[in-house]
Homo-oligomer: A and B are copies of this chain.
Amino acid sequence: MLSKDNKILIVGLGLIGGSYAEGLTKAGYTVGAITRSASTLEYALKKGIVASGATAVEENYLSGFDIIISGLYPTTLLEWVEQYQKWFKSGALLTDVTGVKGAIVSKIQDMLRGDVEFVGAHPMAGREVSGVQNADSRIFLGANYIVTPTERNSEDAIQKCEELGRILGFGNISRLSPERHDEIIGFLSQLTHCIAVSLMNCKEPGEMAGYTGDSFRDLTRIAKINDNMWPELFMLNKKELLEQMDLFRTEFLRLRTAIEEDDIATVRLMMQTSTERRKQFDK
Contact = CB atoms under 8 A, between A and B. Distances in A.
A248 interface: yes
A36 interface: no
Contacts of A262: 235
B251 A202 contact: yes
Consensus secondary structure, chain A interface:
helix
Nearest to A264: B231
A234 B219 contact: no
Contact of A188 (B124, B144, B208, B226): B208
Contacts of A124: 211, 213
Interface string A252-279: 1111100110101001101111110111
A249 B194 CA distance: 12
A2 B252 CA distance: 45
A184 interface: yes
A256 to B, nearest CB: 5
A159 interface: no
A198 B193 CA distance: 15
A124 B216 CA distance: 11
A42 B200 CA distance: 46
Contacts of A111: none
Contacts of A226: 271
B235 A245 contact: no
Contacts of A238: 259-260
Interface residues of A, number: 85
A211 B279 contact: no
A248 B253 CA distance: 11
A167 interface: no
B223 A208 contact: no
A212 B146 CA distance: 11
A282 to B, nearest CB: 8
A222 B215 contact: yes
Nearest to A221: B218
B274 A224 contact: yes
Given A224-B278, A224-B279, A242-B256, A201 B264 contact: no
A3 interface: no
Contacts of A209: 280-281
A19 interface: no
Contact of A251 (B201, B213, B278, B279): B201
9 contacts: A144-B212, A188-B208, A191-B199, A194-B252, A194-B256, A195-B252, A198-B251, A198-B255, A241-B259
Counting from the closest, the 3 A-B pairs by CB-CB distance are: A200-B274, A227-B271, A223-B274
Given A230-B271, A245-B259, 7 more contacts: A188-B212, A194-B256, A199-B248, A203-B247, A205-B280, A227-B271, A234-B267
